[in-house]
């Protein structure tokens, strides 16, 4: 793990350290965040998982022949965005997941995209986001059309994919690698270190809290400042274990995955 969370070390040549990309996966409970994460990291589909565990993984990836140290935060907000700064001020890019067989989860993804748009406005930075319609294998129970997903993604200017954690790994890998490409493009545009932030966690005194102004769930933002920089808080993490993923090892360059306890993988 890098010494300072979220501080990208852009690779400046083949011998330099790999680019570090932090990817947060957002979405309502049950959308399939964890299943997609584990599919990407292990090529396996999990069937059950503790919904209250928030997990962060790291994996050495190669995207377009470039080494990337990828960290994936599988968030657990349950139903609405909460304590958002843990991922808003950590991630370089976001996957916003809903399930095509759940209108509720689709509406939840819209809240997350609104939150990201507000954060970008507040911080004057842009954060790549990809909208994912998951559980495509359940299309016969579809409650959200592909056109609706395309329209929502278009509204927020983000990429859109329909995927399934059950089906082929390559499609899921493609989506994660697209997120890395988007993050890399952004980091190359403004290779500043992530804006560290002061511990102030109230909205500016002259402004109503951001959520009140925009009716969003109780998300507090840290006001960003270069005046008194403070180390970003580390992401709360469960115990890390490192496993050799046999199938992943045989098929992919990244032999070692760092997974957190809490998953039952079948
Ligand atoms: N058929 C199908 N089921 C899926 C897919 N992705 C996830 N599931 C199932 O949907 C349920 C929820 O999946 P999770 O990955 O736990 O969803 P989550 O968004 O992480 O939900 P929380 O852990 O509660 O935050 C589980 O029973 C999964 O097995 C998919 O692509 N297809």
CA–CA distance, 202 with 181 (Å, rounded to integer):
33
CA–CA distance, 199 with 7 (Å, rounded to integer):
18
Q: Write down the pLDDT at residue 255.
A: 38
User: 149-175: per-residue pLDDT in tens?
Assistant: 999 999 999 999 999 999 999 999 999
* DSSP string covering the chain: --SSTT------STTSPPEEEEEEEE--TTSSHHHHHHHHHHS----EE-TT--EEEEEEEEETTEEEEEEEEE---TTS--STHHHHTT-SEEEEEEETT-HHHHHHHHHHHHHHHHHHHHHT----EEEEEE-GGGGGG-SS-HHHHHHHHHHHT-EEEE--SSS-HHHHHHHHHHHHHHHHHHHHHS-PPP--B-S--S--TTS--HHHHHT-SS---PPB-SSS--PPPPPP---EEEEE-HHHHHHSS--EEEEETTEE--
The preferred substitution site among 87, 165, 265 for testing ligand 1, maximizing ligand atoms within 8 Å of CB, is: 165
- What share of the chain has pLDDT > 70, as a percent? 63
Q: By alpha-carbon position, which residue is closest to atom 29 of ligand 1?
A: 47
Say which residue, 22 or 5, is predicted with more confidence: 22
The angle that helices 169-189 and 33-42 make with each other, rounded to 10 degrees, is: 90
Judge if the beta carbon of residue 167 lies within 6 A of ligand 1. no
For the CA of 75, the closest atom of ligand 1 is 25
Token pair, residue 176, equals 């994660």
pLDDT(11) > 50: no
The answer to which of 7-21, 51-65, 201-215 has the lowest mean pLDDT is: 201-215
User: 198-214: per-residue pLDDT in tens?
Assistant: 333 444 344 444 444 44
Tell me, in angstroms, the distance from the centre of ligand 1 to residue 131's CA. 16
For the CA of 138, the closest atom of ligand 1 is 1
The preferred substitution site among 24, 26, 35, 80 for testing ligand 1, maximizing ligand atoms within 8 Å of CB, is: 35
Q: By alpha-carbon position, which residue is closest to atom 13 of ligand 1?
A: 32
**Are the beta carbons of 165 and 45 closer than 8 angstroms?**
yes
- Is the reported ipTM for this assembly greater than 0.95? yes
Q: Write down the pLDDT at residue 15.
A: 58
**Are the beta carbons of 6 and 22 closer than 8 angstroms?**
yes
Predicted TM-score (pTM) of this structure: 0.73
Domains of the chain (ranges plus CATH)? 19-189 (3.40.50.300)
């Amino acid at each position: 793990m890098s010494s300072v969370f979220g501080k990208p070390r852009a690779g400046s040549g083949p011998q330099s350290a790999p680019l570090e990309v932090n990817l947060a996966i957002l979405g309502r409970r049950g959308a399939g965040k964890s299943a997609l994460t584990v599919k990407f990291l292990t090529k396996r589909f999990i069937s059950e998982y503790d919904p209250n565990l928030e997990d962060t993984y790291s994996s050495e990836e190669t995207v377009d022949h470039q080494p990337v140290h990828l960290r994936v935060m599988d968030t657990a907000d349950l139903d609405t965005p909460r304590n958002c700064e843990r991922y808003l001020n950590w991630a370089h890019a976001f996957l916003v997941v809903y399930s095509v067989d759940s209108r509720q989860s689709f509406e939840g993804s819209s809240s997350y995209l609104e939150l990201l748009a507000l954060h970008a406005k507040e911080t004057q930075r842009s954060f790549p986001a990809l909208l994912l319609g998951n559980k495509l294998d359940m299309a016969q129970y579809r409650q959200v059309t592909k056109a609706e997903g395309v329209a929502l993604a278009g509204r927020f200017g983000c990429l859109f994919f329909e995927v399934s954690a059950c089906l082929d790994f390559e499609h899921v890998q493609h989506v994660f690698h697209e997120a890395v490409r988007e993050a890399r493009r952004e980091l190359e545009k403004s290779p500043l270190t992530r804006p560290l932030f002061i511990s102030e966690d109230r909205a500016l005194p002259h402004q109503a809290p951001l959520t009140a102004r925009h009716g969003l769930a109780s998300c507090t933002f840290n006001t960003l400042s270069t005046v008194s920089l403070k180390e970003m808080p580390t992401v709360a993490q469960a115990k890390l274990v490192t496993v050799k993923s046999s199938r992943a090892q045989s098929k992919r360059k990244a032999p070692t995955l760092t997974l957190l306890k809490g998953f039952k993988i079948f």
